[in-house]
């Protein structure tokens, strides 16, 4: 299409629509659904803030790919997935435009929807972050940290761009379910449980704890042993 | 000058005042002017917020080089341009100090100046971002995204550091002109237009749309098809 | 422990408890103390904002390792130190949990403690940032810039996450002591002063200026030559 593209250097990032995971696999559909969930929550929030169409798409992209991008930069894992595989940007754009056209984010169900999609993204992205870090040879604490970062980074930047109080600042459990899920993942792996059960249980645990925390206003107990003493 | 500098590892980042572009070329002067424009807008904003002299220089540096730095980290393009070529930090420092000494940013023309220099930087940095991404072999959507990122990243961080509402949050078109310019760039390239015309037209388009948007309060039409329905 | 860890790729990041610096060296204890100081200040701030236990640990990690991480990404220095050496995450976690359990950050001495630990971290991290950049072959201005970035990046992100006005925005000298210390470091190096004296003097200078600035409300003089003229 463009003449200069024929003189590309050998490390050329040729566009591919081939996916990292087997297209028929569980993880493939899961990752795409995670990207979809992040795009929806990003678009909802950006529309609430009266961003224009391109602004909403940009916030959706930031919500969906900046966490995994930070993870890959930290792991020195190049080229970045969204540069070689156009599925990601495509799904985000279509999701964001479609949501802007056919949904009305001023409706009263929006806050619940936002929490729901954030919970889904939390479960999926934490699991994928852990697995990618493990593939790259990281040890267990780093894997769990990168699992948390994989979802947290995009969510925090999205919230700051939209001038919202970051989710992580709010009272309900958000990091805790991800860490519990991460520990469970490694416990199940040591017990030689089949990987699809490990993955499903990890996500289910993270999602359930997060949703229950939102529903019942669960928060982490204060671990301070001193109440009134001066420092 | 310093004895330890003689035992440098082979991958040493030796300081050079040689530029990436031919010093007599159009693109060389353009890039330096873009860096100058970003430094001016960064310094104006930082002075408004009563940062001290070093704080203003730091904000100018963040405004001018953090976007291209993010672009290069994403593209895995090392060493970073401002580490091997001292022109960048030098121009930013001189611009920022000179502006602090000889200009009074409390004057009433400042807001207009800020918008003007932001518009110039938007046009120049978007073009350079697209060209660098294309050189590295990225495909068209990624090139346009990195063009936008090239200017947006620094501007957003600058605004957040200065506790300002990010430009991208404001109502007037900001991302839209960059995307229109990016699409125009690739259309002109397919049509085999000489590169200097392509570059000039791209920048002129971005700058004009942005300035007209600021002047006439243009904004992107709402693409929602549903107005009152509940989600 | 985990079966999949045996099929690691050759670039595997095997966990090590070996440190970069000799365990008996001055720099080793210094770096660990810097990490400790950052963790304390991060934990204090996060607890003030009523983050839960995991939130406090996360803010402590961000305060302590995101600056050096940004420095290493900019220098293309992989693998990241905290991924191969578990001492860092361990010290941060223990410090943060211990501080949460045994200290009461609501006490009136807290603000002073925060400034004290921030000053210690400023002195130590600036020195380490300069030394790492110099080891990688960067030139003097880049070394000083990376020294400043080494502490500033984590502090700014910590403050933004906690919805605080960034330290850098506040009136007292913060960047200035780091830059003065950086210049002193290179002057002493040219004069062939033994390295431990150079290091100690650099840190002492940065810490003293910062503490005096906080105490006596020092600020940088306005360098503007124009007072009332219109731009």
pLDDT digits (tens, 9 = 90+) for A42-76: 999 888 888 889 999 999 999 999 999 999 999 99
Has residue C75 got a pLDDT over 50? yes
> Is B78 or C28 the better-scoring residue by pLDDT?
B78
Q: Does C54 touch chain A (CB under 8 A)?
A: yes
- Rounded to 5°, the CA angle A143-C34-C171 comes to 110
Has residue B230 got a pLDDT over 90? no
Percent share of chain C, pLDDT over 90: 57
For residue A107, what pLDDT is reported? 61
For residue A43, what pLDDT is reported? 93
A171: preceding bond cis by omega (within 30 degrees): no
For residue B231, what pLDDT is reported? 42
Does C89 contact A173 at a Cβ distance shorter than 8 Å? no
Has residue C186 got a pLDDT over 90? yes
In B, which residues are within 8 Å of C169 by CB distance? 49, 51, 55, 161-163
What is the Cα–Cα distance from B10 to B227, expressed in whole angstroms?
A: 63
Whether residue C97 contacts residue A223, with contact meaning beta carbons closer than 8 Å, is answered with yes
| Predicted confidence band of residue B113 (pLDDT cuts 50, 70, 90) | confident
Q: Does C187 touch chain A (CB under 8 A)?
A: no
Does A2 contact B189 at a Cβ distance shorter than 8 Å? yes
CA distance C87 to chain B (A): 27
For residue C24, what pLDDT is reported? 58
Under 8 Å CB pairs connecting chains A and B tally to: 103
Instruction: Determine the distance from the C-alpha atom of residue B202 to the mean position of all C-alpha atoms in its chain, rounded to a whole number.
Output: 15
Has residue B141 got a pLDDT over 50? yes
Has residue B21 got a pLDDT over 90? no
Pick the range with the lowest mean pLDDT from B39-48, B165-174, C49-58.
Answer: B165-174
Whether residue C154 contacts residue C64, with contact meaning beta carbons closer than 8 Å, is answered with yes
In A, which residues are within 8 Å of C65 by CB distance? none
| Predicted confidence band of residue B25 (pLDDT cuts 50, 70, 90) | confident
Does A52 contact B220 at a Cβ distance shorter than 8 Å? yes
For residue B106, what pLDDT is reported? 61
CA distance B211 to chain C (A): 21
Sign of the four-CA dihedral C79, C84, C85, C86: positive
> Is A223 or B204 the better-scoring residue by pLDDT?
B204
Does B100 contact C224 at a Cβ distance shorter than 8 Å? yes
Taking alpha carbons only, the member of B61, B160, B67, B39 closest to residue C179 is B61
In A, which residues are within 8 Å of B171 by CB distance? 50
Percent share of chain C, pLDDT over 70: 85
| Predicted confidence band of residue C225 (pLDDT cuts 50, 70, 90) | confident
For residue B12, what pLDDT is reported? 42
DSSP designation for A77: -
| Predicted confidence band of residue C61 (pLDDT cuts 50, 70, 90) | very high
> Would you say the ipTM is above 0.90?
no
Has residue B33 got a pLDDT over 70? yes
Chains in contact with chain B (at least 3 beta-carbon pairs closer than 8 A) = A, C
Interface with chain B: mutation pick from A2, A80, A81, A83, highest number of B CBs within 10 Å: A83
- pLDDT (average), residues C212-225: 85
Whether residue C231 contacts residue C152, with contact meaning beta carbons closer than 8 Å, is answered with no
Chains in contact with chain C (at least 3 beta-carbon pairs closer than 8 A) = A, B
Chains in contact with chain A (at least 3 beta-carbon pairs closer than 8 A) = B, C
Closest residue of chain A to C69, computed from CA coordinates: A74
Has residue C34 got a pLDDT over 60? yes
Query: Can you list the residues of chain A whose pLDDT is less than 50?
Result: 1-19, 229-231
**B85 phi/psi in degrees, rounded to 5:** -120, 110
| Predicted confidence band of residue B10 (pLDDT cuts 50, 70, 90) | very low
Q: Does C183 touch chain B (CB under 8 A)?
A: no
| Predicted confidence band of residue C105 (pLDDT cuts 50, 70, 90) | low
| Interface list for C 88-147 with A (CB within 8 A) | 89, 97, 100-105, 107-110, 113
Percentages helix, strand, coil for chain A (3-state, rounded to 5) are 70, 0, 30
CA distance B123 to chain C (A): 24
Residue with tokens 């600056």: C67
For residue B132, what pLDDT is reported? 94
DSSP designation for A221: P
Pick the range with the lowest mean pLDDT from B17-26, B167-176, C218-227.
Answer: B17-26
Whether residue A185 contacts residue A130, with contact meaning beta carbons closer than 8 Å, is answered with yes
Q: What is the per-residue pLDDT across B46-76, written as a single tens digit (0 to 9) for each? A: 888 888 899 999 999 999 999 999 999 999 9
Whole-model pTM? 0.87
B42 Cβ neighbours under 8 A, 6+ residues apart: B56, B59, B60, B61, B62, B63, B64, B96, B158
What is the Cα–Cα distance from C144 to C127, expressed in whole angstroms?
A: 9
What is the Cα–Cα distance from A120 to A126, expressed in whole angstroms?
A: 10
CA distance C155 to chain B (A): 12
Q: Does A2 touch chain C (CB under 8 A)?
A: no
CA distance B230 to chain C (A): 33
Distances (CA, A) of C45 to A10, A40, A117, B32: 48, 32, 30, 41
What is the Cα–Cα distance from A136 to A165, expressed in whole angstroms?
A: 33
For residue A21, what pLDDT is reported? 52
């Amino acid at each position: 299409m463009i003449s200069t593209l024929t003189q590309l250097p050998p490390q050329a990032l040729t566009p591919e629509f081939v996916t990292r995971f087997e297209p028929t696999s569980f993880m493939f559909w899961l990752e795409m659904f995670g990207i979809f969930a992040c795009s929806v929550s990003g678009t909802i929030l950006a529309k609430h803030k009266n961003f224009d169409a391109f602004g909403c798409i940009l916030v959706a992209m930031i919500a969906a790919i900046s966490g995994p991008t930070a993870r890959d930069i930290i792991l020195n894992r190049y080229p970045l997935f969204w540069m070689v595989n156009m599925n990601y940007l495509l799904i985000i754009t279509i999701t964001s435009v479609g949501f802007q056209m056919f949904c009305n984010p001023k409706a009263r169900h929006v806050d619940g929807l936002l929490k729901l999609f954030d919970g889904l993204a939390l479960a999926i992205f934490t699991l994928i972050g852990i697995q990618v870090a493990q593939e790259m040879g990281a040890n267990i604490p780093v894997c769990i940290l990168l699992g948390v970062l994989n979802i947290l980074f995009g969510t925090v930047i999205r919230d700051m761009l939209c001038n919202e109080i970051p989710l992580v600042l709010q009272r309900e459990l958000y990091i805790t379910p991800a860490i519990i899920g991460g520990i469970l993942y490694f416990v199940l792996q040591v017990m030689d449980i089949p990987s699809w059960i490990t993955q499903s249980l990890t996500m289910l645990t993270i999602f359930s704890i997060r949703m229950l925390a939102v529903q019942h206003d669960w928060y982490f107990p204060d671990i301070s042993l001193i109440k009134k003493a001066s420092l």
